[in-house]
Chain A
Amino acid sequence: MSLSQMDRVAQATPKKVARRIKGLSDRAIAWIFVAPTIFLLLAINIFPLIWTIQLSFTNYRANRLNREVENIGLRNYERILTDSDIWLNMQATAHFLFWTIFFQVLIGFTLAWLIHRNFKGNAFWTTVIVLPMMLSPAVVGNFWKFLYQPQIGLFNYIVSFFTGKDPSSFEMLGSVDLAPWSIVIVDTWMWTPFVMLICLAGLRSIPDYIYEAAAIDRASKTRQFFTITIPMVLPFLMLAVLFRGIENFKMFDLVVQLTGGGPGSTTELTSINLKREAFEKWRTGYASAYAIILFVTVFGLASIYVKALNKVKER
């Protein structure tokens, strides 16, 4: 049946007749279609979550099966929240989150704004720019480690080429001062295109007539930028920040490959720290409490943020 024919039939069809269906009822089909997905998520997401909550009140260690498991109440939570090292990890995570989002928004928006000029070939170059974002973070981290090698690495060479510094005089991954920035640089390299793409969609959603009206009212280009462009792109930009925020709060693979959390624990983000507690020290109960704290934090922050986002959208 061709489309036009279908359209004609569709238009001629009263809705009531259309709802009469042979075989299974709609409700039965709806449940048959949704059930496997819900079941899978219950089995592999919700059941484990509940189990984690239960483990978080115990002193269970997954590598000692014969040890008696005791219920220790809230002691795991108490220990985590009063541990100064964990607050240092939180700070490292906050530093990483803040600066990656700052640079990605700044560069991403600028790029989108430039691409929106619709120069010749902009679609091609957009695709080129987007490539890093789709790659495996672990493999990216691994080869940036190569680029960051002092003496032989390309990054140090390029920096020394432009600044005249000796390429073996600084270690991006080995120094306490530079390592937090080395992970910010790689994440920014990788994810700026993400912010750019979303901003570009925002810019393209602004209808031309608004600018035309502003031009007739003799609003300057700068004024148009701050009173039209920025407010109209803002909801998109905030959405991009939400995605990047959640992703980078969970950050593990890229940084593990780059620095492994070092030197010392300067780049030990919470996920890396959690992995140490859970799978190296095998403090399963303690790590479970830690996991719950992280989950509540990201969920809580995201919910507050989404409320703010919806307010901006309504304006």
Chain B
Amino acid sequence: MSAHSITEPTDRAKWIAGGLVVLYALVTMIPLAWIMLTGFKSPADAISYPPKVVFEPTLEGYVNLFTTRTRQTDDFLAANPPQNWADEIVRQYDMVIVGPSKFGERFLNSVIIGFGSTFLSVFLGTLAAYAFSRFKIPLADDLLFFILSTRMMPPIAVAIPIFLMYRNLGLSDTHLGMILLYTAVNISLAVWLLKGFIDEIPREYEEAALIDGYTRFQAFYKVVLPQAATGIASTAIFCLIFAWNEYAFAVLLTSATAQTAPPFIPTIIGIGGLDWPAVAAGATIFLLPVMIFTILLRKHLLRGITFGAVRK
């Protein structure tokens, strides 16, 4: 104890704390690890009892996720040898691959709508945040609170009039409609977070630039934007993750053309009976990018999830 300051925990306290936290972390990872493992199981292994930790890995789940298949007669199978490794996997169930599944399309929709809405909300959010941060705007606090309060509405409650409005405007089940909707939802987060980031940039930099003959616009994009780059990047990732994960609006407002992955993944189970490996494969592919982004974001995580209310 004597070697430590009063507030520094003892080595023993650190060991116990570390042990408990690691234990919690490992337990909390079990469901995620399990879903990733299940993606590499055969359907029989996936539902075996007791649950199998050791099994023969197969890409069946992934093949089933990306393809549609039909059962064929023995004659047909004998006459047409397997085309590739994926076809070979399917053959053990007397099936042939007849085409791609909808998963690729749905995933692409998620990418288009996610990136589209992220770009728009960060673009508009940066402008608004700059204005709120630097200029005197009448009723600024009320406006900012109004922007935040739009986030308190349950999505289903907003969905009723949006559904009617989109039906009249022809925006139902379109990429543009979803991009605009997710932008409207994300913009509150973008404005609040970016205002915090821009507030932290000293005004003197811009003022110096103005003296040097820059216009406000030039000062904004040549001085402020580069300084706010980290903040803009992390805001963008938060917006992207939200749009990527969103389910309620997607399930109500999209169906054939603009459906994103979250409403689609649960329906995979219906295609091939109890095809849990395919569901697990879909979930893995869908969740992995978010996990990577979370790790990249770890320093700004707190700020993002509290709308900038808590900054470390």
Contacts and interface: CB of A to CB of B under 8 A. Distances in A.
Interface in B182-219: 183-184, 187-188, 191, 202, 204-205, 207-213, 215-217
B210 to A, nearest CB: 6
B207 A13 contact: yes
A140 B210 CA distance: 51
A255 B296 CA distance: 29
A37 B187 contact: yes
Contacts of A126: 298
Interface in A261-284: 270-271, 274-275, 278-279, 284
A21 B160 contact: no
A6 B208 contact: yes
Interface in B267-312: 276, 279-280, 283, 286-287, 290-291, 293-295, 298, 301-302, 305-306, 309-310, 312
Interface residues of A, number: 113
A143 B279 contact: yes
B17 A211 contact: no
A127 B5 CA distance: 28
A250 B21 contact: no
B312 A136 contact: no
Given A117-B18, A274-B154, A278-B156, A138 B298 contact: no
B111 to A, nearest CB: 14
B301 A130 contact: yes
Contacts of A123: 298
Contacts of B50: 157
A295 B152 contact: yes
Contacts of B9: 117-118
A278 B20 CA distance: 46
A256 B150 CA distance: 23
Contacts of A153: 51
What is the predominant secondary structure among interface residues of chain A facing chain B? helix
Nearest to B131: A33
Determine the interface band of chain B, counting residues with CB < 8 A from chain A.
Answer: 35 or more
B14 A119 contact: yes
B18 to A, nearest CB: 3
A287 to B, nearest CB: 6
Interface string A1-24: 100001101110101011011111
Contact of A114 (B20, B183, B245): B20
Interface stretch (A48-56, A98-106, A170-178): A48-56
B22 interface: yes
A138 B216 contact: no
A34 interface: yes
Nearest to B158: A48
Interface stretch (A71-79, A82-90, A196-204): A196-204
Given A30-B137, A143-B279, A146-B279, A138 B204 contact: no
A286 to B, nearest CB: 11
A41 interface: yes
Contact of B154 (A13, A44, A271): A271
B164 A51 contact: yes
Please list the 3 inter-chain residue pairs (A to B) with the smallest Cβ-Cβ separation, ordered nearest first.
Answer: A10-B204, A291-B157, A119-B18
8 contacts: A30-B134, A41-B146, A44-B184, A49-B161, A52-B161, A118-B9, A131-B32, A132-B32
Given A22-B215, A45-B153, A198-B302, 17 more contacts: A22-B213, A36-B128, A40-B187, A49-B161, A135-B291, A138-B265, A139-B286, A143-B279, A146-B35, A152-B47, A211-B6, A215-B7, A243-B306, A253-B262, A278-B156, A279-B159, A302-B152
